[in-house]
Amino acid sequence: MVDLQTIEAWRNAPRLNSFAAFFEQTARGLANMPDLAKPAPDMNLLEFDIACMTFWDTHRRLWGHFDNHYFASIPYRLEEECRLAAAILPFGLATWGRTKQAATIYTLGAGAGTLARALARLGDGRLKTLNCSPTAGNRACFFARRGSEDAYFHHGPFFELDDERYAADENLQPFRDGYDLVMEDTTFQMCGCDREEQLSVIAPRIRAGGLLVQIQKLMHPDMKTYLERERQKDEQFKSRYFSQTQIVVKKRDVLDIMVDFQVDLESSISALSSYFDYSAITWNSGNFYTIVSSNSFTSLHNFITSMVKPAIPQEYCYAILPRIFARESMPPGPAEWTWRSPRSVGPKLE
């Protein structure tokens, strides 16, 4: 259980204070919107995989304002959203098939919960999803395009969801027995550096055989390398969507502060090893990483091998993928991991 002093430190961190106005204005579409173009996935990079295309067709109909900002800010993060969802959906459906009850999925820090809403819609009663955000504008967007009665929203930060809250809040009733998959999307880095403490809020709620998926922005041991990757992101990707003024203002008001709460890969994996036997890096875009963790080697292996290859140009990816980590006491498993082949439908015929 996290002590009150730590909770208070998270409550006083930038996300709920100095960043609050930025997130509220963005969630309501009042500021920080791309002024040059609207993001859309490059289906060529996803090799026109039908599962990714189906998810995107659902996802795009449910967008809130924050999606426009977020997916224009991280290189090829939208393609990664499609790639992840195309693996999460069958993972959830397989869980439903085995247990004969709806699989439960929790996304924290995912804006208006568009991923959670799209999955609930595609799951058609076989998945129940929860998204949390402390931003009222995200709540408004969530319910404006809820998409499914199986999509739930908690208006508040992730650390409010303790045993007492789950027991008392009827909105959380479907999730009292835990989650089959939890996704943390650049949330922890808004509150502090104590990843092990932050994980203690969510890791114990993941069911046996379940997964934790994280999108993290990580520090690099060499600051010059970190800054070069930031330059690449800003000059080669964000400049397609945002004016130079917007890029400079966000860097000054958000990114230069947030860097104090980022950790490096070694620290992140060390914290994860306190709760999970296995972790794997499955995507990299500059300083951003997808890391999937589980106490079940089978679940992790099945999930990763159900993903198509990373949909990102080679010049943005600095990691050999997938990269597997295991506790010293655990067998490492097979050396070769293979992405699934795309079920390609091809571009529109002329």
35-93 per-position pLDDT tens digit: 999 999 999 999 999 999 999 999 999 999 999 999 999 999 999 999 999 999 999 99
Which pLDDT belongs to residue 350?
53
Q: Indicate whether 52 belongs to any domain.
A: yes
Q: Indicate whether 262 belongs to any domain.
A: yes
Q: Indicate whether 36 belongs to any domain.
A: no
Which pLDDT belongs to residue 252?
78
Q: How many CB atoms lie within 10 A of CB 320?
A: 8
Among 92-101, 177-186, 338-347, the least confident range: 338-347
Q: Indicate whether 334 belongs to any domain.
A: no
Residue 278: which of 311, 307, 301, 248 has the closest Cα? 301
Which is more confidently placed, 285 or 253? 285
Q: Does the structure show a pLDDT above 60 at 214?
A: yes
Which pLDDT belongs to residue 335?
61
The residue count of the chain comes to 350
Q: Does the structure show a pLDDT above 90 at 307?
A: yes
Determine if the pTM surpasses 0.85.
yes
Q: Indicate whether 346 belongs to any domain.
A: no
Question: Mean pLDDT over all residues of the chain?
Answer: 95
Residues 6+ apart with CB under 8 A from 114: 59, 62, 63, 64, 67
Residues 6+ apart with CB under 8 A from 306: 87, 90, 91, 340
Q: Indicate whether 345 belongs to any domain.
A: no
Which pLDDT belongs to residue 259?
85
Distance CA 116, CA 139 (A): 13
Domain that holds residue 236: 4-30+43-326
The per-residue b/e assignment along 247-273, b for 16 or more CB within 10 angstroms, e otherwise, is beebeeebeeebeebbbebeebbebbb
Distance CA 279, CA 326 (A): 7
Q: Could you tell me the CA-to-CA distances from 198 to 15, 161, 203, 268, 329 in Å, in that order?
A: 14, 12, 9, 11, 24
We report the CATH number of the domain holding residue 231 as 3.40.50.150
Q: Indicate whether 253 belongs to any domain.
A: yes
Q: How many domains does the chain have?
A: 1
Which pLDDT belongs to residue 247?
87
Q: Indicate whether 143 belongs to any domain.
A: yes
Provide the pLDDT confidence category of residue 248 given band limits of 50, 70 and 90. Answer: confident
